[in-house]
Structure 1
Amino acid sequence: MSEEEFRSDLQALAILISQLHDIEDPAIHVTYDQAAGHPTTTPAGSRLAATELLDKAHINLATLARILNIPGPEDPDHQNQATWHTDIHYARQLATHPGLALTPCEMQLFAQETHWIVTRARELTNPPQQPSIIIGPCPNPQCGHTLRGNPGDHTTTCPHCHNTWQTNTIRNLNYHKLLNNKHSRSCTATQGARILKACGITISPSTIRTWKQQGTITPNGTNQQGQPTYALADIFQRVSAKQPGSGNRPGVS
């Protein structure tokens, strides 16, 4: 991949991050059902796919920014904003940074990961017109194509690598990657409860706040409104400790 293509992908990612956030946030309505004629809540599968892509983008951008000594936003008001705001800042700064050309071998790894994220994000933000739902990325490590299907489908075949997968297998893999990711982005108690609900795990925001008061879960910061934020993996691990067994955790046997 050329340096020019890498810079182009970073510029595109700066725009796509905001679009992925809109898909991830259940409070924002995005028209996915063209026949409905009105905005509808983004399907849970799409929200989870957006969350995973935002996590990957954050790790990739933050690591590259640290290597190239790119500081975070200088605006004091910006420093307390959500992680995705900072990631947009990094993507814009990296797209014009001269250091991208200094270590080509190392940059190729970041360029390939960035291109993969941008490709998947475009698939997610520009869904096909035919009725379908997002199941998740293809489990084939050499593929990763976003798989779609109809509600009720038990299997799906990847149009790229032509492997056939059980839809439940794909969803469970996605759940565990998301929930066990120690580098996952921060979320408030309400946001964490919503993501876990989409994974089939019911927990109330008030329970998470109670755990904070009891000292059994520790916030990792605050958002722009001063609300405590937590690592999603920490919330999930606390839920798992509270409710051992497979009944409340999808895909665990």
Structure 2
Amino acid sequence: MLKLDKICVSFRSERQDKLFGHTKQQVLFDVSAEVKKGTCLGVLGESGSGKSTMGRVLCGLLKPDSGTVLLNGVSVYGSKEGRRKLQNQLSIVFQDYTTSANPRFRVADILKEGLSVRQRREKETLDQEEEISRLLELVGLPSGFADRFPHELSGGQLQRVCIARAVACNPELILFDEAISSLDAHTQVQIMDLLLELKEKLGLTYIFITHDLTSITYLCDDVLFLYQGRVTEYLSVKHLNETKDTYAKKLLESIVVFDTEEAS
């Protein structure tokens, strides 16, 4: 569905060379990956590994220096059609749910943001109140939450609202950028269970960017290890124990198993 082929990205350095002026610092080196329809690709890396830059490339916000991003065989950065397709098919859920939801908006208004995108794109007339109730139910919240403000919700509840907003525009692909890292472990499990349920029910495809290998093993089908801008390992989660990569082994040694019984 989505394919990256030898992506390279560099940024202008703030340090200035006396002879050549500003220099460039490369942050991604020949990164390649493939996200198959109906699966979840985990992108794992520590701070500074380049995973956020990779996320920006994936969602159409940062054109790489070289390499290609293909969505269903169409180049995202090489054609207007590809960019438009990505905009129509991709939603994003961010780490900081407090800043990604307008504090002055009620939950209904937050969800209307996603519904408005869907209405413009598909040119359909929606009963917004009915859709808002359906979306809240879909993410496990009572319809009465539509009248609440973000500060009246817990972190987990507000992130469910952000997930509902992402789903509201009928995407095929959702990118999660550290979407559960600000939540406590118990709530993380609940949100991941919700994501698995939505993926199955709605036929969604996920990209899950994180620094936490534990959530990768819980949620993802494949995992890409990113270290200093380079892919050090790329394999199925089922075969993680077969890795020969030193960096992957180091992270595997620190893995913590979620208590799923407590979460239920």
Q: Do these two structures clear the TM 0.5 threshold for a shared fold by scoring above it? A: no
| TM-score under structure 1 length normalisation | 0.26
In terms of fraction of residues, the more strand-rich structure is 2
| TM-score under structure 2 length normalisation | 0.25
Larger relative contact order (Cα-Cα within 8 Å, sequence gap ≥ 6): 2
In terms of fraction of residues, the more helix-rich structure is 1
